[in-house]
Amino acid sequence: MLQCLILELEMVFSWLNLLAKFGFSDVTGIDYSPSAIQLSGSIIEKEGLSNIKLKVEDFLNPSTKLSGFHICIDKGTFDAISLNPDNAIEKRKQYVESLSRVLKVKGFFLITSCNWTKEELLDEFSEGFELFEELPTPKFSFGGRSGNSVAALVFQKT
């Protein structure tokens, strides 16, 4: 049985419900906000998805119970932490350390970021993780140059 951890601020619906509907039987969603967990819980209850666990957790200081995951998905948490005006560099390092603690060796980390490029994310997660795959994202062109407005990468814990 695969354990999947969803790291998502304001995680209402999204990955949790999708994975549960696709048959993942051990899905955990976390948020530091009790009200976000409560709102997500009410939506999950309406959907009848009993295979999702929700926990109030600060991912920068996770409890010891938050461990052993095969997959970790982040759609916005790393971006939000990176924008913190109080020592963002240290908080990014804490994030990578927490990620390393909660994931099993050879576990996968999927990140979608609108604030970081592929190259920057490769640098941020260079210790303990290797790029497994780059996921396709929409491209745009402006002034003769093209690029992506979003980076979506899959890392594997080494």
For domain 3-157, give the CATH superfamily: Vaccinia Virus protein VP39 (3.40.50.150)
Q: Is the pLDDT of residue 107 over 90?
A: yes
pLDDT tens readout for residues 55-97 = 899 999 999 988 988 888 888 889 999 998 999 999 999 999 9
96/40: higher pLDDT: 96
Please give the residue that has the higher pLDDT: either 44 or 93.
Answer: 93
Q: With 70 as the cut, is the pLDDT of residue 154 above it?
A: yes
Q: Percent of the chain, pLDDT > 70?
A: 91
Residue 12 pLDDT class (50, 70, 90 cuts): very low
Provide the pLDDT for residue 48: 82
Residue 126 has pLDDT above 80, yes or no: yes
Does 139 score more than 70 pLDDT?
yes
pLDDT given for residue 11 in this prediction: 54
SS (H, E, C) 44-95: HHHHCCCCEEEEECCCCCCCCCCCCEEEEEEECHHHHHHCCCCCHHHHHHHH
Point out which residues pair with 71 in neighbouring strands: 4, 108
Cα separation, 109 vs 98, in Å, equals 12
Which pLDDT score is estimated for 110? 92
* Residue given tokens 């997660």 in the structure block: 125
If one compares 48 and 117, the residue with the highest pLDDT of the two is: 117
